[in-house]
Amino acid sequence: MTTLTPVLSATWDVKDSWTLSTYTKHGGYRGLKKALKKQPGELVQAIKDSGLRGRGGAGFPTGMKWGFLPPDDGKPRYLVINADESEPGTCKDIPTMLSAPHTLIEGVIITSYAIGCNHAFIYLRGEVVHVYRRLINAVREAYEAGHLGKNIHGSGFDLDVTIHSGAGAYICGEETALLDSLEGRRGQPRLKPPFPAVAGLYARPTVVNNVESIASVPAIIDRGVAWFTGMGTERSRGMGFFSLSGHVERPGQYEAPLGITLRELLEFAGGMRGGRPLKFWTPGGSSTPIFTDAHLDTPLDYESVGAAGSMLGTRALQIFDDTTCVVRAVMRWTEFYKHESCGKCTPCREGTFWLTQVLKRIEKGHGTPADIQQLLDTCDSIAGRSFCALGDGATSSVISSVKLFRDEFEQHVSTGECPFDHAASALFTYSDSLEGAHA
């Protein structure tokens, strides 16, 4: 049995866990003290050696990303934290910032020192106002304690941090759209290259990292590379959050070594709701192909999940039991992508619209046998042909669900109705007399 490894979440159950005093009492800012005694290059090397990979979805090696910055030319370079957390199913960065914002702030300071940045930004999604309060508060506490500002603890290193609130747009989680948004523009992706490391915020060299990636840095510096590489699998080192939601007894945040399996996680989470059978789940959020009970023992690391045909993504495990209609689930995700498509490129803008039309038709029982092939054809003209990864992500659940549950799509078409009782999937009981009010 794999052991759970709370690190970022270790103090979440302590009284006033979000305050500087609680954080410091439990070893907080020890990593910063150690970091300031080292050369920046040593820190970049340590993160490279740790094998830490980006926790925001793509899994790019963090130390390598930092290493891509061109040599210092005396002009500004930036660290931008991606705190836009909006991929459906993903719900780990928000509790991190709510319960222990200083893990992120300490990580920001160490990272900024390592890459030679004097002004860092945290781009927070706008729809979580208490998180914004906690971040502002944490930054103020950090200034007062001398962790931020001029000549931090006599090191000669200066750093300012700006917390910036978005305004409701999933696409702003894509790192180049995020940069445009932070520059006060519509959040639409930029053509790459140039990559942000070369020309990012204000066309200056910029590192964009996820909250969890940067919040993991202080522990690595404090406890050492060997401690971190002692967890996880050969190419997926360390611990990470596994966010369980849906039809499980105890949904929530489980911090565990990469490579743990859903079977093990379910054990911690008290199993499926009422002992019902598992039907399908997302390993890494709604942009990753769905899995079934055949994947209960797939190690949840980048390589194994990839080899099994999906992606580890953000480790957002949305879990559905046998009461759930897969057509309904996929239709809703697709509506989300249609809604969030930024409109910049035709395959995604038009494609997500047509996918939604066809899926709605099938779900309502008005589909034709040709509609199922139509879905796959439309996915074909989106995936690999869109400007950014949102388009690809929109096709993942459609393609994988048709592959795994084609008979269920066909049944909607042939019987002219959805065979499922939606009330059976809900957490509360209700009778079905209201359907269709003001939708």
Partner 1 sequence: MTYDETTLAQLRDDAADIVSRYPVKRSALLPMLHLVQSVDGFVSPDGIRFCAERLDLSAAEVSAVATFYTQYKRRPNGEYQVGVCVNTLCAVMGGDRIWDELSEHVGVGNDETTADGKVTLERLECNAACDYAPVMMVNWEFFDNQTPDSAKQVVDDLRAGKDVAPTRGPAKVCTFKEVSRVLAGFDDGRANEDQGVGAPTLAGVKAAKAQGWKEGKK
Binding site for ligand SF4 (CB under 6 A): 171, 189, 341-345, 348-349, 386-388, 390-391
Can residue 82 be called a binding residue for ligand FMN (CB under 6 A)?
yes
Strand partners, 245: 318
Residue 236 sits at the vertex; the CA angle it makes with 32 and 98, to the nearest 5 degrees, is 50
Residues 124, 135 contacting (CB under 8 angstroms): yes
Hey, what are 353's tokens?
């619209």
Can residue 403 be called a binding residue for partner 1 (CB under 8 A)?
no
Can residue 202 be called a binding residue for partner 1 (CB under 8 A)?
yes
Hey, what are 43's tokens?
């820190």
**Closest CA relative to residue 20, chosen from 11, 416, 4:** 11
Residue 188 sits at the vertex; the CA angle it makes with 64 and 117, to the nearest 5 degrees, is 40
Q: Which does 82 bind (CB under 5 to 8 A by kind): partner 1, ligand SF4, ligand FMN, none?
A: ligand FMN
N-to-C CA span, the chain: 46
Can residue 180 be called a binding residue for ligand FMN (CB under 6 A)?
no
Q: Which does 437 bind (CB under 5 to 8 A by kind): partner 1, ligand SF4, ligand FMN, none?
A: partner 1
Q: Which does 162 bind (CB under 5 to 8 A by kind): partner 1, ligand SF4, ligand FMN, none?
A: partner 1
Q: Please identify which residue in 23, 66, 132, 157 interacts with partner 1, judged by CB under 8 A.
A: 132
At residue 75, the 3 state secondary structure works out as coil
Residues 208, 178 contacting (CB under 8 angstroms): yes
Can residue 186 be called a binding residue for partner 1 (CB under 8 A)?
yes
| Subset of residues 343 to 382 that bind partner 1, contact rule: CB under 8 A | none
* Residue 426, phi then psi, degrees to nearest 5: -75, 165
Strand partners, 38: none
Enumerate helices (H) and strands (E) in the chain, giving the number of each: 18, 8
Applying CB under 8 A, the site for partner 1 has a residue count of 103
Stretch that binds ligand FMN, among 95-103, 171-179, 288-296, 316-324 (CB under 6 A): 171-179
Q: Which does 253 bind (CB under 5 to 8 A by kind): partner 1, ligand SF4, ligand FMN, none?
A: partner 1
Hey, what are 393's tokens?
């992500």
Nearest distance, CB of residue 127 and ligand FMN, angstroms: 12
> Whose Cβ is closer to partner 1: residue 86's or residue 229's?
86
**Closest CA relative to residue 272, chosen from 326, 321, 325:** 321
> Whose Cβ is closer to partner 1: residue 45's or residue 86's?
86
Residues 201, 182 contacting (CB under 8 angstroms): yes
Can residue 250 be called a binding residue for partner 1 (CB under 8 A)?
yes
Can residue 228 be called a binding residue for partner 1 (CB under 8 A)?
no
| Subset of residues 406 to 425 that bind partner 1, contact rule: CB under 8 A | 422-423, 425
**Closest CA relative to residue 191, chosen from 36, 388, 396, 41:** 388
Stretch that binds partner 1, among 86-94, 189-197, 303-311, 409-417 (CB under 8 A): 86-94
Nearest distance, CB of residue 416 and ligand FMN, angstroms: 35
Can residue 428 be called a binding residue for partner 1 (CB under 8 A)?
yes
> Whose Cβ is closer to partner 1: residue 168's or residue 306's?
168
User: Which residues, at least 6 apart from 279, have a Cβ–Cβ distance to it below 8 Å?
Assistant: 292, 293, 320, 321, 322, 324, 326
Nearest distance, CB of residue 309 and ligand SF4, angstroms: 22
Q: What residue spans of 100-210 are helical by DSSP H? A: 101-115, 129-144, 175-182
Can residue 84 be called a binding residue for ligand FMN (CB under 6 A)?
yes
Task: Please give the residue ranges that form the binding site for ligand FMN (CB under 6 A).
Answer: 54-58, 60, 82, 84-87, 171, 173-175, 208-210, 213, 388-390
